[in-house]
């Protein structure tokens, strides 16, 4: 009558669950595992799973159709199937059923109802099954109700006594296997017609128990024991359900009353009878393990069972905790993946780990301590290693960020665009150099750089240190040293750029100083030209070198490096000066012409010459020409070194007009105009002044036509 119509009717009948089927198998559903059904049933009912140790298991044993299910339903408001009429028991109802009491009690009850086949039909298999279900009930229950007919009492009948005998023997086995607590056996005497007083019945049962105890085979260690060392006994009788229905219900209600108030002295399932170390949330797994062990006739060792339970449950708690932990990490992970640095990573991580361990400890605390501790350790390690992945990402980001920070400091000072932290190769260094050249030179570079490095490393170290989660063995020293190395390298590149920039500045300054003088001196182009050039060249070099040396000190340049830098600097000034001279030499044809005119076409008073008869035009012409041609030699050879002053590079002679001066061939870096060009220049000059000469001659001959004197060259 109580079967529901949902699809799970095979195993769930209203609020009860079939735990073991008629074949002795733990019931599994096809699509839905039994555990889920069972647990959801248990947790739906009065928060069973959260009860910790605050629950009792009650089971009932006794002959078939003796009203066991009827009684349980009355006492605990369960919905176990009651067999009406002689329909017989269908296989689907046989086995062990469980249900949670729904009565208004201070106690939470899990009720076990065992359905067997009818006594008269029992074969050996059925006997074995009964023995197993009895052991199962004994292991789980604090109270074992034994249902017996009043008229069976004193008959020492096979059915009653064999049941008790089983229970006694099995219990002794359990005590051998470390069972520690007594079980209460509550005899409920059915169909008591009050013909025999209750105390008489009770006395008879106790006498039978004594007799039975003496008869059973006991292990050596328990030979001299008494049944009351392992059991407490209690008695209750009920009138016939059909003959005295009102009284029956009244008495059932009285019995029920003894399950309601755990502060009352006649409260039946006292704490001392309970399994103290199987918490409610582990009961399903424990029942499973116990039944599988019993079914396969293996030794049922209770501590081992409890350890197994702890292992299993702790594994579950570990998984649940870990899953929750990874969910909790999600927001941190997302932030880090977006490139954010989490300043209080260490604290945050610690909080999450503590919370996770706490979440584990809550349910785990009730289980076998060693196991809980071991599993806690593995959980802890997993939590830390999961968090470490994020820590490492954070440190990587922090590393990049520290380089960015350094670059921003550099940029602040120099307006240099920093290289991106990820690219480190020479290509970016080259492009940087260009930019550095356009920016200013950093004063007191060495001190400045030390400062910047320190700031950047401090930034890294501070955040990295606060990213360490207390209790971990994480470290980041490798990153620290990499960062140090990296910034040192960056500073080195920057320093080189800065020194290059300084040298360019010095060069520019020198040329700026030299140039006006150089123009004046070359304009004059007198015999002391090179002496003058050397003098201003030396003076400028001295001046600038002095400043250069002072400014190089900012860069902490070593002695030999200074020599090299200054050497290069001098070299570059020299070649710059040479190129300036090349520029000046371009005006040479004009200069030659101008000087020639000054000497040939002007007289000593700088007035236009009037040729007279007495003038030796040829000699004047030769002097003027030679005078001009000296300029070619003057401008064609660089005479910056003292010893070069007397060098004569170009001299026009009639027969070696295009041969270069062989002795000077190896001093090409001093040659401003090649010998060949000098010759060409000279030839052109001579061609150019020929007409001047001719004109002078014709002027003179006009004056003295009669003399017929003809000039010779
Ligand atoms: P179970 O097999 O021990 O669980 O017995 P049931 O609870 O299914 O009851 C079997 C039959 O016995 C049903 O017809 C009940 O109405 C009847 N019954 C229940 N309680 C009593 C009782 O106290 N005395 C008698 N004589 N019959 C009872
Ligand atoms: Mg029943």
Distances (CA, A) of 523 to 49, 425, 513, 592, 699: 110, 51, 17, 12, 32
- What's the CA-to-centroid distance between 398 and ligand 2, angstroms? 70
Give yes or no for residue 393 having a pLDDT over 80: yes
Separation of CA 60 and ligand 2 centre (Å): 9
Residues 6+ positions from 521 with CB-CB distance below 8 Å: 529, 532, 533, 536
**DSSP states along 69-112:** HHHHHHHH--------TT----GGG-EEEEEE--SS-SS-EEEE
Q: Which residue has the higher pLDDT, 671 or 40?
A: 671
DSSP strands (E only) in 117-252: 143-149, 183-190, 231-237
CA-nearest residue, atom 12 of ligand 1? 67
Judge whether residue 109 has pLDDT over 90.
yes
How close is the Cα of 62 to the center of ligand 2, in Å? 10
d(CA 269, CA 140): 13
Q: Check residue 435 and give its pLDDT.
A: 32
Rg (CA), the chain: 58
Point out the ligand 1 atom lying closest to the alpha carbon of residue 72: 7
111 CA from centroid of ligand 2 (Å): 12
**Kind of pairing, strands 183-190 and 231-237?**
parallel
Three-state SS at 637: strand
What is the mean pLDDT of the segment spanning 585-597?
93
Kindly give the distance from the C-alpha atom of residue 65 to the centroid of ligand 1, in angstroms, as a whole number: 5
Is 99 within 8 Å of 111 (Cβ atoms)? yes
The full set of domains in the chain, from first to last, is: 12-299 (3.40.50.300), 309-465 (no CATH), 500-584 (no CATH), 588-703 (no CATH)
Beta strands in 577-668, from DSSP E residues, in sequence order = none
> Has residue 351 got a pLDDT over 90?
yes
Ligand 1 atom index nearest CA of 64: 2
pLDDT at residue 41 in the model: 65
Distance CA 225, CA 681 (A): 141
Asked if residue 295 has pLDDT above 60, the reply is: yes
Instruction: Look at residue 320 in the predicted model and tell me its pLDDT.
Output: 94
Distance 199 CA to ligand 2 centre (A): 28
Q: Residue with the nearest Cα to atom 23 of ligand 1?
A: 241
Residue nearest to atom 13 of ligand 1 (CA): 84
Separation of 93 CA from ligand 2 center, angstroms? 9
73 CA → ligand 2 middle, Å: 10
| pLDDT higher than threshold 60 for residue 177 | yes
Helix then strand count (H, E) for the chain reads 18, 8
What is the structure's pLDDT at 143?
97
Using the Cα atoms of residue 491, residue 492, residue 497 and residue 498 in order, give the sign of their dihedral. Answer: positive
Q: Which ligand is nearest to the CA of 150?
A: 1
- pLDDT of 398 above 90: yes
Helix, strand, coil share of the chain (percent; to 5): 60, 5, 30
The number of the ligand nearest the C-alpha atom of 118 reads 1
pTM for the model stands at 0.69
Question: How confident is the model over 149-174, as a mean pLDDT?
Answer: 86
Average pLDDT over the chain, rounded to an integer: 85
d(CA 201, CA 154): 8
Which bound ligand lies closest to the C-alpha atom of 80?
Answer: 2
Specify the residue with its C-alpha closest to ligand 1, atom 15: 67
* Model pLDDT, residue 666: 54
Above 70 in pLDDT, residue 23?
A: yes
Predicted confidence (pLDDT) at residue 12 exceeds the cutoff of 50: no
Please identify every residue whose CB atom is under 5 Å from ligand 2, which is an ion. 68-69
Backbone angles phi, psi at 475, to 5 degrees: -150, 170
Tell me the pLDDT tens digit for each residue of 183-208.
999 999 999 988 888 899 999 999 99
Q: How far away, in angstroms, is 96 Cα from ligand 2 center?
A: 10
Q: Enter the tokens of residue 51.
A: 């009860």
Instruction: Pick the atom of ligand 1 nearest to 83's CA.
Output: 8
Distance 297 CA to ligand 2 centre (A): 26
Two tokens at 669?
């870096």
Integer angstrom CA distances of residue 401 from 387, 410, 412, 461, 469: 21, 14, 16, 12, 21
Q: Residue 271 above 50 pLDDT? A: yes
Give the pLDDT band (50/70/90) at residue 350: very high
Kindly identify the ligand whose nearest atom is closest to the C-alpha of 70. Answer: 1
- Looking at the CA of residue 66, tell me the nearest atom of ligand 1: 3
pLDDT above 90 for 431: no
pLDDT for the residue 40: 62
Can you tell me the distance from the alpha carbon of 306 to that of 279, in angstroms, rounded to the nearest whole number?
10
Residue to probe by mutation, ligand 1, list 62, 67, 151, most atoms within 8 Å of CB: 67
For residue 415, pLDDT beyond 80: no
Q: In the chain, pLDDT over 70 holds for what percent of residues? A: 86
Could you give phi then psi for residue 236, rounded to 5 degrees? -150, 145
What confidence tens digit (pLDDT) does each residue in 305-318 have?
A: 888 899 999 999 99
Average pLDDT over residues 127-131: 86
CA of 293 to the centre of ligand 1 (A): 32
Q: How many other C-beta atoms are found inside a 10 Å radius of the C-beta of residue 610? A: 10
Nearest CA to ligand 1 atom 21: 67
Residue nearest to atom 17 of ligand 1 (CA): 67
Nearest residue (by CA) to ligand 1, atom 18, is 67
Ligand nearest to the CA of 13: 2
Q: Looking at ligand 1, which atom is closest to the CA of residue 89?
A: 2
Instruction: Indicate which residue's Cα is closest to atom 6 of ligand 1.
Output: 67
**Amino acid 641: pLDDT:** 85
Tracing tokens 């902490």 back to the chain, one arrives at 556
Sheet architecture: strand order including 143-149: 12-13, 16-20, 95-100, 109-115, 56-61, 143-149, 183-190, 231-237
Of 577, 405, 566, residue with least CA distance to 499: 566
Pocket of ligand 1 (CB under 6 A): 64-70, 82-84, 190-191, 238, 240-241
| Nearest Cα residue to atom 2 of ligand 1 | 65
The beta-carbon contacts of 486-493 under 8 Å, at least 24 apart in sequence, are 486/403, 486/424, 487/403, 487/406, 487/452, 487/453, 487/456, 487/457, 488/453, 490/403, 490/406, 490/407, 490/410, 490/419, 491/449, 491/452, 491/453, 493/429, 493/432
Q: Tokens 């293996």 label which residue? A: 298
């Amino acid at each position: 009558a109580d079967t529901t119509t949902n699809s799970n009717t095979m195993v769930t009948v209203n609020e009860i669950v079939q735990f073991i089927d008629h074949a002795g198998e733990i019931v599994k559903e096809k699509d839905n595992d039994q555990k889920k059904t069972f647990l959801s049933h248990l947790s739906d009912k009065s928060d069973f799973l959260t009860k910790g140790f605050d629950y009792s298991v009650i089971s009932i044993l006794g002959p078939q159709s003796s009203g066991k299910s009827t009684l349980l339903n009355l006492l605990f408001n369960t919905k176990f199937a009651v067999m009406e009429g002689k329909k017989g028991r269908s296989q689907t109802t046989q086995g062990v059923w469980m249900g949670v009491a729904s009565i208004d009690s201070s106690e939470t009850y899990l009720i076990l109802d065992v359905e067997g086949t009818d006594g008269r039909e029992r074969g050996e298999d059925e006997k074995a099954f009964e023995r197993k279900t009895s052991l199962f009930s004994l292991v789980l229950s604090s109270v074992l109700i034994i249902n017996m007919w009043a008229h069976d009492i004193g008959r020492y009948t096979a059915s009653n006594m064999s049941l008790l005998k089983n229970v006694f023997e099995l219990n002794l086995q359990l005590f051998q296997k470390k069972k520690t607590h007594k079980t209460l056996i509550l005899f409920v005497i059915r169909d008591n017609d009050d013909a025999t007083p209750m105390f008489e019945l009770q006395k008879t049962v106790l006498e039978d128990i004594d007799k039975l105890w003496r008869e059973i085979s006991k292990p050596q260690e328990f030979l001299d024991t008494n049944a009351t060392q392992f059991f407490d006994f209690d008695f209750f009788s009920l009138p016939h359900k059909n003959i005295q229905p009102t009284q029956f219900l009244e008495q059932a209600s009285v019995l029920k009353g003894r399950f309601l108030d755990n502060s009352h002295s006649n409260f039946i399932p006292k704490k001392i009878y309970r399994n103290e170390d199987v918490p409610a949330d582990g009961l399903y797994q424990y029942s499973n393990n116990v039944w599988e062990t019993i079914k396969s006739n293996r030794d049922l060792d209770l501590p081992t069972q409890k350890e197994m339970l702890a292992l299993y449950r702790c594994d579950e708690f570990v998984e649940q905790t870990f899953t929750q932990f990874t969910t909790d990490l999600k927001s941190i992970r997302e932030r880090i993946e977006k490139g954010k640095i989490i300043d209080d990573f260490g604290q945050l991580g610690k909080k999450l780990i503590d919370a996770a361990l706490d979440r584990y400890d809550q349910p785990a605390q009730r289980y076998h301590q060693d196991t809980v501790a071991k599993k806690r350790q593995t959980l802890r390690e997993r939590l830390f290693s999961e968090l470490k992945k994020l820590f490492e990402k954070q440190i990587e980001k922090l590393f990049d960020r520290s380089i960015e920070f350094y670059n921003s400091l550099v940029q602040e000072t120099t307006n240099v665009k920093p290289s991106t932290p990820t690219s480190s190769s020479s290509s970016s260094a080259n492009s940087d150099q260009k930019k550095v050249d356009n920016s200013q030179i950093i004063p007191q570079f060495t001190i400045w750089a030390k400062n910047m490095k320190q700031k950047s490393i401090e930034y890294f170290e501070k955040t990295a240190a606060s990213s360490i989660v207390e209790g971990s063995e994480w470290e980041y020293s490798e990153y620290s040293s990499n960062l140090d190395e990296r910034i040192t390298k960056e500073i080195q590149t920057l320093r080189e750029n800065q020194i290059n920039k300084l040298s360019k500045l010095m060069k520019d300054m020198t040329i700026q100083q030299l140039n006006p003088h150089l123009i004046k001196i070359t304009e004059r182009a007198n015999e002391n030209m090179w002496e003058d050039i050397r003098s201003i060249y030396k003076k400028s070099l001295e001046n600038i070198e002095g400043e250069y040396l002072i400014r190089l000190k900012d860069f902490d340049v070593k002695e030999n490096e200074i020599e090299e830098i200054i050497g290069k600097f001098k070299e570059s000034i020299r070649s710059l000066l040479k190129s300036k001279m090349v520029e000046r030499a371009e005006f040479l044809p004009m200069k030659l012409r101008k000087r020639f005119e000054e000497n040939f076409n002007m007289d000593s008073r700088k007035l236009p010459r009037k040729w007279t008869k007495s003038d030796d035009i040829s000699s004047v012409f030769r002097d003027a020409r030679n005078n001009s041609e000296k300029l070619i030699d003057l401008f064609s050879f660089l005479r910056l070194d003292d010893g070069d002053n007397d060098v004569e590079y170009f001299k026009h002679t009639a027969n070696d007009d295009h041969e270069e001066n062989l002795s000077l061939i190896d001093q090409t870096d001093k040659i401003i105009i090649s010998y060949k060009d000098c010759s060409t220049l000279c030839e052109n000059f001579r061609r150019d002044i020929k007409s001047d000469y001719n004109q002078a001659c014709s002027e003179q001959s006009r004056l003295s036509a009669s003399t017929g004197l003809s000039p010779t060259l």
